[in-house]
Chains A and B, each alone.
Chain A
Amino acid sequence: MLASYLNSLTEAINRRMGMVLIGLGVVVTVVFNLIIHVQFLPGPVIFLGRRLHWEATLGVPSVLSVMLEFTGGILWLLLSTLAAAPLLSSTLDRGWVELTLSKGTSRWKVFLGRYLGGVTLYFVAAIVVAVPIAIRLWWQTGVSSWPLVGSIAFQTLGFAGLLAFAALAALPRIGPAPPILLAMATSIVSAILAQREQGLYQLLTSRWSHWLCDWLYRILPKTSELNGIGVTLLHGYKINSWWPIWSTGVFMVATLGLTLWLLHRKSL
Chain B
Amino acid sequence: MTNPAIEVKDLHKKYLTFSRMEIPALRGVSLRVERGTIFGLLGPNGAGKTTLIKILLGLCAPTDGSAQLLDSHPGDTGARRRIGYLPEAMRIPDYMKGPAFLRYMGRLNSIPGSTLKKRIPELLEQVGLKGVKKRTKAYSKGMLQRLGLAQALLNDPELLILDEPTDGLDPLGRKQVRDLLKELKATGKTIFLNSHMLSEVELVCDQVVILHQGLVARQAAPEEFTRGTGEYLVRVAQVNDAVRAAAATITGAAAWTDSTLSFIPRDHTQLNALIDKLRSVPVEIVAVEPVKHSLEHFFLKVVGAGEA
Q: Residues of A at under 8 Å CB distance from B?
A: 2-4, 7, 10-11, 14-15, 90, 93-106, 110, 265, 267-268
Contacts and interface: CB of A to CB of B under 8 A. Distances in A.
B174 to A, nearest CB: 22
7 A-B pairs with the lowest CB-CB distances in the bound complex, closest first: A95-B91, A104-B81, A3-B107, A14-B95, A103-B108, A267-B60, A98-B87
A98 B93 CA distance: 13
Contact of A103 (B15, B61, B80, B92): B80
A104 B95 contact: no
A110 B108 contact: yes
A106 B89 contact: no
Given A104-B80, A104-B110, A99 B95 contact: no
A105 B91 contact: no
5 contacts: A3-B107, A94-B91, A96-B91, A98-B54, A102-B57
Nearest to B155: A104
Contact of B89 (A95, A100, A105): A95
A102 B93 contact: no
B60 A93 contact: no
Given A7-B104, A11-B95, A95 B61 contact: no
Nearest to B101: A99
B77 interface: yes
Q: Of residues A98, A102, A104, A110, which shows the largest number of chain B Cβ atoms within 10 Å of its Cβ? A: A102
B93 A11 contact: yes
Contacts of A267: 15, 54, 59-61
A98 B85 contact: yes
Nearest to B60: A267
Given A90-B93, A94-B89, A104-B77, A268 B108 contact: no
Given A95-B87, A95-B89, A99-B90, A104 B108 contact: yes
Interface in B130-171: 148, 151, 155
A3 B108 contact: yes
A71 to B, nearest CB: 26
B87 A99 contact: yes
Interface string B66-97: 00000000000110110101010111110100
B109 interface: yes
Contact of A3 (B15, B83, B104): B104
Interface of B: 15, 54, 57-61, 77-78, 80-81, 83, 85, 87, 89-93, 95, 100, 104-105, 107-110, 148, 151, 155
A104 B93 contact: no
Contacts of A98: 54, 57, 59, 85, 87, 90
Contacts of B77: 104-106
B108 A4 contact: yes
A15 B77 CA distance: 30
B109 A268 contact: no
A14 B92 CA distance: 14
Given A11-B95, A110-B108, 20 more contacts: A7-B104, A14-B93, A90-B93, A94-B91, A95-B89, A95-B90, A96-B90, A97-B59, A99-B87, A99-B90, A99-B105, A102-B80, A103-B109, A105-B77, A105-B108, A265-B61, A267-B15, A267-B60, A268-B54, A268-B59
Contacts of B93: 11, 14, 90, 96
A116 to B, nearest CB: 15
A90 B155 CA distance: 24
Contacts of B54: 98, 267-268
A230 to B, nearest CB: 34
A183 B284 CA distance: 84
Contacts of B95: 10-11, 14-15
Contacts of B81: 103-104
A268 B151 CA distance: 20
A102 B104 contact: no
A114 to B, nearest CB: 12
B42 to A, nearest CB: 20
Contacts of A15: 95
A90 B80 CA distance: 22
Contact of B83 (A2, A97, A102, A105): A102
A105 to B, nearest CB: 5
B91 A102 contact: no
A102 B78 contact: no
B44 to A, nearest CB: 21
Given A3-B104, A104-B108, A93 B91 contact: yes
A48 to B, nearest CB: 39
A4 B109 CA distance: 11
A10 B96 CA distance: 9
Highest count of chain A CB atoms <10 Å: which of B54, B80, B108, B148: B108
Residue of B15, B61, B87 with most chain A CB atoms under a 10 A cut-off: B87
Nearest to B154: A103
A99 B59 CA distance: 10
A104 B108 CA distance: 6
